[in-house]
Amino acid sequence: MVIFQKKKLKAFLVASFLCLSCNGTSYALEAGSKAPDFSLPGTQGTVSLSSTAGSVVYVDFWASWCGPCKQSFGWMNDMQDKYKAQGLKIIGVNLDSKTEDAKKFLAQTPAHFTVAFESKGVTPKNYGVKGMPTSFLIGRDGKLISQHLGFKEADREKLEQEIKAALEAKK
Amino acid sequence: MKSLPTKKTHVIGAALFAAAMTLPFSNAAFAEAAPEKGIVAFKYLNYKESQPVSEDRMSVNAYTVSAMAPIAGKWSISTSYTYDSVTGASPDYHSNIDHFISGASPIREQRDAGDLSVTRYLPQGSVTVGGSYSEENDYISRGYSAQASISTEDKNTTFTFGGSYTTDTIAANNSEWRDLGRIEEKRTVAGALGVTQVLTKQDIVQLNLGYSKGRGYFDDPYKTYDYRPDRRESKTVMTRWNHHFAAIDGTSHLSYRYYTDSFGIRAHTFGLEYLQSLPHEWTVTPSVRFYSQTAADFYLPVDPADPGRNDYFLPLFIAGTPLGITSMDQRLSSFGALTLGIKVEKRIAKDWIVDLKYENYEQRAGWSMTGGGDPGLKPFSASFVQVGLSREF
Amino acid sequence: MKKNVLLNPLYALLLLVLGLSGCSIGSAVQPWEKETLARPEMTFEGDPLDNKYTEHIYSSKEAASGGAGVGGGGCGCN
């Protein structure tokens, strides 16, 4: 019975809220700030953000074991094909700890966009990635426009609108 | 044949798929993200008891179909339907079979049960509401539940809060004159609090606290001289720990539950299972469970001089027992129980999984961790066989 | 006061779990490190129909029941 006494229940609740508040120390990137640069090995040589200057860049952090990531591949392929001429560059940064897992995944689900491998976790930490997948839309000026956590069918349209707006924006 | 059930006919319903004590809570998902795929599953259960001395113990066949579908990436809906049929007999007193009606052929009893729940997924949590209904000829149960979960920003900690309300309607057809045709009710409210914590890349732990308070009819309508308090309060603490062994691609599930209630019962439950992944999409899971409980304050042990309880009025005059509050139910005695099981699963095609599980269960008075088992009780054992098939969409 | 003795270790465990949950920031598992944790066998959900049957059997053959926590909706176990 002891454990359910009011006092102890209160302690449980207090502790619960402490945990909630305690864990909230994560640094998020804000819109308008400069997107952190990275230079990583990719399927076709080194991939770096700085070499894409002047393009609208969509950086997507994904992993082979993440279901919604797989769902987003078809959509990212479409976007890359559709807006390539207007200057869209999609970079899929893979975060698998074993790069072979990612390569196996890519053999089954080909990507029409640039893929980079990051098994150390440095880049996602710099970007403050909070879930899988997380994507960042970066303007032609190299500044962050928006970020998006997760991928659902319902997100397609909104994300495409954002990409379109970024491509049309004046420099 | 419908009215005035004889001793033998009504024996069954309550005993196994009996209602009485569970709540409309299950192990359901803690998922904070909407599921990507739907699932349809079927499972068959065969439960068979055996107890030395008696020939005519209970056997159950149950069939369940369930479905879960994600909706628009933000919702999911789950439903299930169970049909079960019970044959055989349950003991009148302790564990001896009814001795004053004999030679009757086995009787069947059926139960239909269904449930439905809807979950809304939010960026940091989820909210679920659900309802359940179950009916057999002398027992109807309705349950309503709601729960919410909330995760920290890094999704490493999840808190859950839930509550439920259950109402049961019971035809209290005890064999005694005072009970004939009486309809009884029982209402139970329950609450639970839980926290799930990711510890490492290979470890996750959970702690759950549960509280339940019921009022109404707690007697076993199928037992003679079974008069229990009309209130029951219970509390549980449960901890679970899942660990993955990367080197051998196996996962262990360890659990412990402490239970205490106002009947004076305290129980410990330990569980361990180990899932081993094997080539060609096979998984093999051996499991062991140990359970031990103390007796209820009003439990009346077997009288060695009169094991058949031919002296019908005796319980009412037992010293130290409040008049009328007494039970000879084996389930309220002190005992220990051991379950050994093995489950084999195989993914037979991309979205199809089949599974087969066998468990052997044994209860003995002498296995009680706290002692005090009733030496007059015979060991009790049962086997559970499950066969399942599921398909993802 | 036997109950006290029995329950205090559990209460300590409760505090331990909460303590770990609140202040394990230094070693917090990152979202991209959850490959293993994302596997179905690492969840506490298990096989829902299997759990439903076995919980049902145990709650009808033993005095204790419940404890596995808040579930989503009814399980039809009455």
C-alpha span between B31 and B34 (Å, rounded): 7
Look at A73-77, B202-206, C68-72 and tell me which has the smallest mean pLDDT. Answer: C68-72
Q: Give me the CATH number covering residue B260.
A: 2.40.160.50
Residue B248 phi, psi dihedral angles, 5° rounding? -115, 5
Which residue from A3, B360, B263 is spatially nearest to C63, judged by alpha carbons?
A: B263
The pLDDT tens digits of the residues spanning A95-128 come to 999 999 999 999 999 999 999 999 899 999 999 9
The answer to whether residue B95 is domain-embedded is yes
What residue ranges do the domains of chain A occupy? 29-168
The residue type found at A5 is Q
Whether the CB of C6 is below 8 Å from some CB of chain B: the reply is: yes
The pLDDT tens digits of the residues spanning B271-323 come to 999 999 999 999 999 999 999 999 999 998 877 766 655 554 555 555 455 55
Confidence of residue B58 (pLDDT cuts 50, 70, 90): confident
| Chain A residues lying within 8 Å of C7, measured CB to CB | 1-3
Give A24→chain B minimum CA distance, Å. Answer: 6
- What order of strands is seen across the sheet that includes strand A114-117? A45-48, A39-42, A114-117, A88-94, A56-62, A134-138, A144-149
Indicate the pairing of strand B39-50 with strand B139-151.
unpaired
pLDDT at residue number C8: 59
Confidence of residue B72 (pLDDT cuts 50, 70, 90): confident
Helix or strand holding residue B13 (H, E): helix B7-15
Helix or strand holding residue B350 (H, E): none
Q: Average pLDDT, stretch B13-39?
A: 50
CATH topology of domain A29-168: Glutaredoxin (3.40.30)
| Chain A residues lying within 8 Å of C32, measured CB to CB | 61, 63, 95, 121, 124, 129, 132
* Parent domain of B159: 7-21+34-392
CB B151 within 8 A of CB B121: no
- Please judge whether A4 and B74 are an interchain contact, meaning their C-beta atoms are less than 8 angstroms apart: no
Which residue from B207, B148, B259 is spatially nearest to C18, judged by alpha carbons?
A: B207
Q: Is B200 exposed, middle or buried (CB count within 10 Å of its CB: 0-12, 13-18, 19+)? A: middle
C-alpha span between C56 and B215 (Å, rounded): 21
Percentage helix, strand, coil, to 5, in chain B? 5, 55, 35
Give B153→chain A minimum CA distance, Å. Answer: 6
Disruptive mutation site among A7, A8, A65 for chain C (greatest number of C CBs within 10 Å): A65
Collapsing DSSP states into helix, strand and coil, what is residue A145? strand
How many structural domains does chain B have? 1
Contacts of B247 (CB under 8 A, 6+ apart): none
Residue B349 phi, psi dihedral angles, 5° rounding? -150, 180
**Regions of chain A where pLDDT drops below 70:** 1-28, 170-171
Q: Which residues does residue B359 pair with via DSSP β-bridges, in sequence order?
A: B341, B384
Collapsing DSSP states into helix, strand and coil, what is residue A53? coil
Look up residue B227 and give its DSSP letter. Answer: B
The answer to whether residue B126 is domain-embedded is yes
Bond preceding residue A133 cis, omega within 30 of 0? yes
| Chain B residues lying within 8 Å of A24, measured CB to CB | 152-153
pLDDT at residue number B2: 36
* Residues composing chain B: 393
The pLDDT tens digits of the residues spanning C11-56 come to 666 655 555 555 444 478 999 999 999 888 998 988 999 999 999 9
Whether the CB of B159 is below 8 Å from some CB of chain A: the reply is: yes
- Alpha helices by DSSP H, C1-78: 2-23, 48-61
Asked if this assembly's ipTM is beyond 0.90, the reply is no
Which residue from B294, B352, B304, B307 is spatially nearest to B91, judged by alpha carbons?
A: B307
- Please judge whether A8 and C25 are an interchain contact, meaning their C-beta atoms are less than 8 angstroms apart: no
Whether the CB of A71 is below 8 Å from some CB of chain B: the reply is: yes
- Alpha helices by DSSP H, chain A: 6-22, 67-83, 99-108, 122-127, 156-168
From the CB of residue A51, how many other CB atoms can be counted at a distance below 10 Å? 11
pLDDT at residue number B378: 83
Q: Kindly list the distances between the CA atom of residue B303 and the CA atoms of A72, B221, B314, C6, in Å, as whole numbers in the listed order.
A: 70, 22, 10, 31
pLDDT at residue number A171: 57
Of residues B376 and B144, more confidently modeled: B144
Whether the CB of B195 is below 8 Å from some CB of chain A: the reply is: yes
Q: Which residues does residue B165 pair with via DSSP β-bridges, in sequence order?
A: B144, B189
Residue C57 phi, psi dihedral angles, 5° rounding? -60, -50
Which residue from A137, A9, A76, C76 is spatially nearest to B164, judged by alpha carbons?
A: C76
Does the pLDDT value for residue B89 go beyond 90? Answer: no
C-alpha span between B198 and B204 (Å, rounded): 4
Collapsing DSSP states into helix, strand and coil, what is residue B31? coil
Q: Which residues does residue B115 pair with via DSSP β-bridges, in sequence order?
A: B80, B132
From the CB of residue B196, how many other CB atoms can be counted at a distance below 10 Å? 24
Of residues B307 and B170, more confidently modeled: B170
Which residue from B334, B353, B331, B332 is spatially nearest to B344, judged by alpha carbons?
A: B353
Which residue from B339, B346, B234, B228 is spatially nearest to B286, judged by alpha carbons?
A: B339
pLDDT at residue number B28: 36
The answer to whether residue B138 is domain-embedded is yes
From the CB of residue B276, how many other CB atoms can be counted at a distance below 10 Å? 15
Return mean pLDDT, chain B. 82
CB A8 within 8 A of CB C18: no
Sign of CA dihedral B302, B306, B311, B313: negative
C-alpha span between A11 and B136 (Å, rounded): 43
The pLDDT tens digits of the residues spanning B225-278 come to 788 899 999 999 999 999 999 999 999 999 999 999 999 999 999 999 999 999
Residue linked to tokens 């003991």: B91
